[in-house]
Amino acid sequence: MFLLYGLIEQLESPVLILDKNDQLQHANPAVSRLFSVPWQTLKQKSAQKLGLIKLNGFWTFDEKNPLSAQNSQKKWQIRQSEFKDNNNNYQLLMLNNISQELQKNEQQAWQNIIRILNHEVRNSLTPISALSQNLLEMPDLSPEQYQQAITIIDSRSNNLLAFIDSYSDLAKLPSPTYQQFDLAELLQGVARLVQQVTVNLSSPLMIKADKGQLEQVLLNLIKNGKEAQLANGKVKDKKTMGTLAKDIEVQVFKTGQQVIIKVLDQGCGIANSANLFVPFYTTKETGSGIGLALSRQIISNHQGELTLNNRTDLADTSGAVATITLPLVYK
């Protein structure tokens, strides 16, 4: 214990040691700075009086507590562990201030948004401004030339409005409306709708999710896979040495706590993975760049994860695999 106390004295992060009754037994100088009083005056106080509460086995700050209020401008990550000494149980809590890191990430997100908006808006406004200036400076244009210029201005304006509407769709995505349904039935319905899709799940698998939103994600991922295969050219059939349109394959796996859905294609693979989920970034000539960002947000709202990687199981062609991981039990 003497060694432990000596170590935590040197740490910049606040460290508290609680006994089996959740009362403060020891702390370091960083705790004194955190609460603006010597930590010794807080000894034997309960964690609740220090502004800490335990939810589902994890410690967090109680925002209603006065001692927590003075730290409300900071975001804290609390790491906890347990140890024994002389048959007594203790809890060690280390508080890490992650406010600066969160602010850095938020600033980076805003910079990305501004960069995208600046790029897209300029792409639309620059030709509109140029054509408008031409109409003002060239009064002798023919009616046909006037009509052509106005048509271009109208088209670019509509494209800009569509871009703003897409951004609004991403920002206003509603929370999932959970319902229980058969995943196999949903996938078979998607396969019938899209065609050239092979689903390896035939027996019922009941899950709880927003059926409409999950269907939207699957349709988007399958559509991306089909477009990637078209861009890559038709896949060679080794037996006939001819060409054929390859099916998109959907695989489903179930673990004790998760269901995993994989959408596999044999397209051109992923060239720039860093920008895959950046809103409005796209490598397609007619793409909006909203589909993957929207899909990942939907899965994230389901407490799941969406990843996209190059396939490593194909020897004679390239391809990508989109993996959806959903919890079977939501917290």
Model pLDDT, residue 238:
42
Q: Which of 196, 286, 267, 273 has the alpha carbon at shortest distance from 228?
A: 267
Q: Which of 161, 157, 136, 135 has the alpha carbon at shortest distance from 148?
A: 135
Which domain-ending residue is among 97, 125, 152? 97
Q: Which of 210, 216, 169 has the alpha carbon at shortest distance from 193?
A: 216
CATH of the domain at 212: 3.30.565.10
Same domain, 92 and 127: no
- β-bridge mates for residue 85, sequence order: 88
Domain count, the chain: 3
pTM, two decimals, is 0.52
- The three-state secondary structure class of 144 is helix
Enclosing domain of residue 78: 2-97
Phi and psi at residue 148, to the nearest 5°: -65, -45
Model pLDDT, residue 280:
44
- Quote the CA–CA distance of 226 and 239 in Å, as a whole number: 23
CA distances in angstroms from 174 to 44, 69, 280, 288, listed in the order given: 46, 31, 20, 20
Same domain, 264 and 195: yes
- Other C-beta atoms lying within 10 Å of the C-beta of residue 41: 9
- The pLDDT profile of the chain, 331 residues, written as one tens digit per residue, is 778 888 888 888 889 999 989 999 899 998 888 888 899 998 999 888 888 888 777 887 776 655 554 454 567 788 888 888 888 888 999 888 777 676 677 777 677 667 766 766 776 777 788 888 888 888 788 888 888 888 878 877 887 777 677 666 666 778 888 999 999 999 988 888 887 899 998 789 999 999 988 998 898 899 888 888 887 664 444 444 334 567 899 999 998 889 999 999 988 887 765 555 554 444 544 444 457 878 888 899 899 999 988 888 877 777 889 999 999 866 5
- The three-state secondary structure class of 286 is coil
The separation between CA 157 and the C-alpha centre of its own chain, rounded to angstroms, equals: 31
Same domain, 195 and 319: yes
Six token digits for residue 26: 């020891």
Same domain, 107 and 199: no
- Quote the CA–CA distance of 85 and 83 in Å, as a whole number: 7
CATH of the domain at 120: 1.10.287
